[in-house]
């Protein structure tokens, strides 16, 4: 299959600059070089078949979706974000939901409960029980975990 090197170079550059999910990279390539784009006259246009070829043949050595997801989870975790918050952010980013859940499970075995207890201890002196429950729930903690910590 012959695809303009300019398109392949753009795909590599975009991936290394932004580390998008495969879905987002596909959208960007279709937007930039799809049949409805302005560039199709110069480089011809590409469709899903050509994009799959680019992923499988040209980007195979640099696509590291799993490493990117793990890294994002670590970053959010270090910023004390909850599992639900991280899941939502990665889902919005267009990452593979199965990979998200797999790496979240590994990263959050007991850590989130410890985080919840720390947040609870900060709030227990300032607010009544119902207000604490509301604040923790708004911070994306699971209701069952909140009830367990409060009681």
Do 54 and 31 have their domain in common?
yes
pLDDT at 110 (0 to 100): 67
Q: Position of tokens 């919840």? A: 116
Number of domains in the chain: 3
Q: What is the pTM of this model?
A: 0.51
Of 27, 72, 68, whose CA–CA distance to 51 is shortest? 27
pLDDT at 43 (0 to 100): 65
Tokens, residue 102? 């797999």
Residue 100 Cα distances to 73, 106, 114, 122, angstroms: 9, 10, 21, 30
Do 89 and 75 have their domain in common?
yes
At 72-104, the pLDDT tens digits run: 888 888 887 888 888 888 888 777 788 888 888
CB of 50 closer than 8 Å to CB of 83? no
pLDDT at 148 (0 to 100): 80
Enumerate residue ranges in the chain where pLDDT < 50.
Answer: none
Do 54 and 38 have their domain in common?
yes
Write out the residue range of the structural domain in which residue 126 sits: 111-150
């Amino acid at each position: 299959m012959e695809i303009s090197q300019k398109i392949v170079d753009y795909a590599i550059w975009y991936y290394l600059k932004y580390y998008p999910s495969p879905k987002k990279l596909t959208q960007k390539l279709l937007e930039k070089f799809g049949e409805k784009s302005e560039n199709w006259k110069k480089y011809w246009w590409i469709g899903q078949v050509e994009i799959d070829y680019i992923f499988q043949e040209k980007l195979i050595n640099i696509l590291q979706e799993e490493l990117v997801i793990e890294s994002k989870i670590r970053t959010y975790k270090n910023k004390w974000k909850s599992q639900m918050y991280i899941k939502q952010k990665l889902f919005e980013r267009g990452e593979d939901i199965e990979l998200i859940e797999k790496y979240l499970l590994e990263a959050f075995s007991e850590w989130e409960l410890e985080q919840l207890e720390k947040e609870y201890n900060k709030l227990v002196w300032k607010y009544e029980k119902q207000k604490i429950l509301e604040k923790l729930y708004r911070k994306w903690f699971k209701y069952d975990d909140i009830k367990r910590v409060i009681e």
